[in-house]
Amino acid sequence: MLWLWNVLILLATVVVMEIVAALSHKYIMHGWGWGWHLSHHEPHSGKFELNDLYAVVFAGLAIVLIYVGVQGLWPLQWIGAGMTAYGALYFMVHDGLVHQRWPFRYIPRKGYLKRLYMAHRMHHAVRGREGCVSFGFLYAPPLSKLQAALRERHGRKINEDAATDQPDAARKNSRVK
């Protein structure tokens, strides 16, 4: 029966991590941690950006929790495993699907994945750290609510190309040339 508790702890941690990540994104990354996160909101040409250090910090914390859990504090290893699972989902959805940092390109045309994709595009529709919408990574509010919030806050001053389903690579290439 212990395996059931382990699975429940892991799954609960994935859910809690979405909340932690959204709050961290809004209040840390777009707050006092903007120095690292700024690199994510500007065009860049390399494979890595300073913002990737946030993933390193969370991965380090997960490793410590797994280690301490294996040493005897049982639930911590499963919390660390849940953080690791969330990190893998984040990497697939945010870095792969949304920002096209993988060698293949896929732009979802309908359903949940399109909603996630478009919500994050709208997050990047604002230049700078103020007035952004949609801070989660695996949950996205309805797109109509995000569009209304952007219009209310910025009118037509938003970065229109970031609010489309055009991938980052295509937008960057069109600016570089």
Question: pLDDT tens-digit profile of 115-174?
Answer: 999 999 999 998 888 999 999 999 999 999 999 999 888 875 555 555 555 555 444 443
pLDDT confidence of residue 113: 93
The pLDDT, as a whole number, for residue 164 is 59
Q: What is the pTM of this model?
A: 0.84
What is the b/e burial string over 32-62, where b = at least 16 CB atoms within 10 angstroms of the residue's CB? ebeebbbbbbeeeeeeebebeebeeebeeeb
Spatial distance between the Cα atoms of 100 and 97, rounded to a whole number of angstroms: 6
Whose tokens are 């849940």? That residue is: 82
CB atoms within 10 A of CB 165: 11
What is the share, in percent, of the chain residues with pLDDT greater than 70?
Answer: 88
**177 band by pLDDT with thresholds 50, 70 and 90:** very low
CA atoms within a 13 Å half-sphere pointing along the CA-CB vector of 99 = 19
Classify residue 167 by its DSSP letter. Answer: -
Cα–Cα distance between 147 and 158 in angstroms, integer? 11
